[in-house]
Structure 1
Amino acid sequence: MPTDHATRWGGIPPAGPQRTLAAAQLVAAVGDGAYYTCSALYFTRVVGMSPTALGLGLTLAWALGSVAGVPLGHLADRRGPRRTSVALALATAAVVAAFLVIRSYPLFLLAVCLYATAQSGLTAARLALVAALVPPGQRTTLLAHIQSTLNGGLAVGAAIGGIALGLGTRAAYQGAFAVTALGFLLAGLVLRRLPEAPPGAAKPDGGPRPAVLRDHRYAAVTAVNAVLLLRMPLLSLIIPLWIAERAPGIGWLGSALFVLNTLAVLAFQVRAARGVTGPGPAARAVRSAGALLLGSCAVFALSALDVPVWAVGALLVAASVLQVAGEMRQSAGSWQIAFDLAPPGRIGQYQGFFGTGVAVARALGPLLLTTLLLDGGPAGWLVLGGAFLAAGHAMGPVARWAARNRDHPVPVPVAAGV
């Protein structure tokens, strides 16, 4: 195991498949950062689409993408995760390139649905590839490296997208889209350097439908994790609106807190995942995440008090620090649990199903949290914090229940250790 400073702090994973997987994530993330920064303004200002039409199209696309992860993950199990990952990365590049010439709404709908589908499938296939090429005890640490790399790539891509936004021309926007397409093209080429899954690691399950759709216990674990993932819309949506209502003079702080979150994950995600190598430490990590997220919500609630603007700002910063600490612990624990409970030959479909929690949080979070927090005020924050705490404590027992009587060995911690 490498012991150099860079590896321990999360910048560089060990040489071999792990470093190659992180490199593929880096170039894809640069493309994602450029796309997410300027895609909305490209489609509304350059293509001429209305915001309502754009929002409807994206909602439909990600609804489709949320259910595509399971069948595409199942395909990765049957045909091989490396082959499937490469194909989906190249498909994403082709779809983004098509955005440069699409002008009609029906073609936009088709393209954006293909984009969301390919993205969801790519996530599931890459996780199956991690399971095939990385020893179980090293997977969570690798995913922490990849998450750190993802944030670094997104920051670079966002800077490129920011240049396009500053120029505001069709050519500038299209240049950013070209960076996105190139990023996924390079990701596919990098993934091709990896070996395919070992023989037998991607055997079909033989059932009439993917086995994960019959695994109700795994669905329960996914549901508990989805509650914790309601943290996702906080910094991107809720906090800017919260600041705009209560302290409009420091509206810039919303962007600053987003940058703080990105840099914290980049610097500390690997350290936060250290020691999470089995179900016991994973459950404890998720439990501590619930407590940290409760603390974050409590401090956010305090920012509603009648205090000076500088105090509001200080409270928001403190709450955001607690939030990102909880985020990193929750990510590390949930990654480990999701891998531990997935049968070896079905990692793709199981990871695809587990990923639907992200889609659920993104779909339901904005409506639920704006009502609960912006209308409910401090009491709403405490209700949300209580839900985080309950979900964090529930993960251990639910994961132990899901681990019983499975068709593959799963180490089950004793209740006192979780």
Structure 2
Amino acid sequence: MANTSPARPTALPDSVPAPDPAAGGAGRGHAPRTLLLAQLSNSVGDGVFYVTSALYFTGVAGLSAAQVGAGLAVAWAVGSAAGVPLGTLADRRGPRGTSVFLALVTAAAVASFLLIGSFPAFLAAATLYASAQSGLAAARQALLAGLVAPEARTAVLARLQAASNAGLAVGAALGGLALHAGTRDAYLAVFALDAGGFLLCALLLGRLPAPAPARASATGAADSATAVLRDRPYVVLALLNALMLLRMPVLSLALPLWIVQRTAAPGWTVSALFVLNTVAVTLFQVRAARPVTDLESAAGAVRGAGAVMFAACAVFAASALPGLGAGAAVAVLVLGSVLLVVAEMRHSAGSWQLGLGLAPADRVGQYQGFYGAGVPVARTLGPLVVTTLLIGGGPAGWLLLGAVFALTGVATGPAARRAARTRTRPDGPPAVSSAAARP
């Protein structure tokens, strides 16, 4: 039967070329495995850091909770802005060398945490850490784009995400041992482990083939360094993605506070839901990403994620219904958490395909630096927005937040198609599929 629906792009534009076979072809087949091992090595350290950092900075380094909160907020704000110039550096100097350099800088920043004894020193180390982390994420995306064929990138990114969650779980367990010991030496040991993870990451990334740096833009260095900021369709898409990333503090901050303050569920439910999320992503992220292969499937994944997030928020709101006992509250929270992790996996897959596939070939690092800024923005502003909305607004706040996710998911499709129409192939015409060109 003929397709009578309105013409629209159905595939991602060829804005990012296939990898150059001449650049280190011998090791290219093993690139996904090496990238996975690198991701695993530094995510173990990240898990340690997330679990122990707050108590280390306050209990060992002698900082106040207010100083730690303010310092990390400033650090991640600077880090989010650093992603674009550091991504541009990856485009110009090559993504492998830049990735190795930024992994080493991150290791040095983590090691410097062992020596801090004042707020200015903490602020400097935290800012270096956040900036290097943001730049490393952008450079590694550019490295992946240079080594992995376009049709395989979303699947590889799904495996990296699964490895990341597994590493975070291992790191969190090691961090838990340090918390149980509660000694200065235990904290120093796990921070040293974190730094070692990034050193191993740098070593692994250095073994990969080196894609050639992007060709210089005809518009000039100064102009190309800020090109992403003038690409309005892509900017809109990145902003929508940042709104969807408000799901991050829902699990890490809003739910723990909600469970303790508003429901009859026991406190251990917080840990159980975190484990549920981590295990689900580790086991099912690759499967969830398989249907996402082009622009339409990616936009559909994000749209579906928004709808499922609305359902999850409605279920979480219901967990505080009057008369709901502890067992029933736990059951409702588990249902909401299942919906939350389904939405997370679908959004991740769609987001990767859109953000990487719509980046111009000569500015993958810069565009990924800007697109990836949604993560530090969500870490910086998300806790304030989510806690104010949910803890202050109660069930109505959950429904409002869910509506934001649903509307954002719906808006992503038109924004992505508009961005695709503005992409250009090397010879100039708009990058639309042959199906879209038919009347």
Query: In structure 2, what is the equivalent of residue 27 of structure 1?
Result: 41
Give matches, 1:4-403, under 5 Å: 16-198=30-212, 201=214, 203-204=216-217, 206=220, 207-208=222-223, 209-247=225-263, 250-306=266-322, 307-403=324-420
Q: CA deviation at 1:202?
A: 5.5
Call closer, same or farther: CA 1:303–1:168 in 2, change over 3 Å: same
- Larger displacement relative to structure 2 (128-137 or 104-113): 104-113
In structure 2, distance between residues paired with 1:339 and 1:101: 38
- Larger displacement relative to structure 2 (104-113 or 79-88): 104-113
In structure 1, distance between residues paired with 2:375 and 2:407: 19
SS at the partner of 1:108? helix
- Conserved in 2, the CA contact under 8 Å of 1:338 and 1:351? yes
Q: Which protein, 1 or 2, shows the higher relative CO under an 8 Å CA cutoff with sep ≥ 6?
A: 2
Deviations 1:51-106 (A, max 9, x none): 11111111111010010000000000000000000000011111111221222222
Amino acid at match of 1:247: T
In structure 1, distance between residues paired with 2:197 and 2:158: 21
Query: In structure 1, what is the equivalent of residue 24 of structure 2?
Result: none
- Conserved in 2, the CA contact under 8 Å of 1:29 and 1:153? yes
- Conserved in 2, the CA contact under 8 Å of 1:340 and 1:410? no
Give unmatched runs, 5+ long, in structure 2. Answer: 1-27
SS at the partner of 1:195? coil
- Conserved in 1, the CA contact under 8 Å of 2:76 and 2:377? no
- Conserved in 1, the CA contact under 8 Å of 2:228 and 2:366? yes
Q: CA deviation at 1:348?
A: 0.4
Q: CA deviation at 1:50?
A: 0.7
In the TM superposition, structure 1's runs of 4+ consecutive aligned residues that sit over 6 Å from their partners are none
Q: CA deviation at 1:184?
A: 0.2
In structure 2, distance between residues paired with 1:112 and 1:136: 35
Q: CA deviation at 1:15?
A: 5.5
In structure 1, distance between residues paired with 2:228 and 2:347: 22
Amino acid at match of 2:230: R
Call closer, same or farther: CA 1:15–1:132 in 2, change over 3 Å: closer
In structure 2, distance between residues paired with 1:165 and 1:248: 27
Amino acid at match of 1:303: S
- Conserved in 2, the CA contact under 8 Å of 1:279 and 1:413? no
Q: CA deviation at 1:29?
A: 0.6
Give unmatched runs, 5+ long, in structure 1. Answer: 1-13
Amino acid at match of 2:418: W
In structure 1, distance between residues paired with 2:215 and 2:111: 31
Amino acid at match of 1:112: A
Q: Answer 1 or 2: which has greater helix percent.
A: 1
In structure 1, distance between residues paired with 2:331 and 2:435: 41
Using structure 1 for the length normalisation, give the TM-score.
0.93
Call closer, same or farther: CA 1:155–1:411 in 2, change over 3 Å: farther
Amino acid at match of 1:310: G
In structure 1, distance between residues paired with 2:435 and 2:269: 44
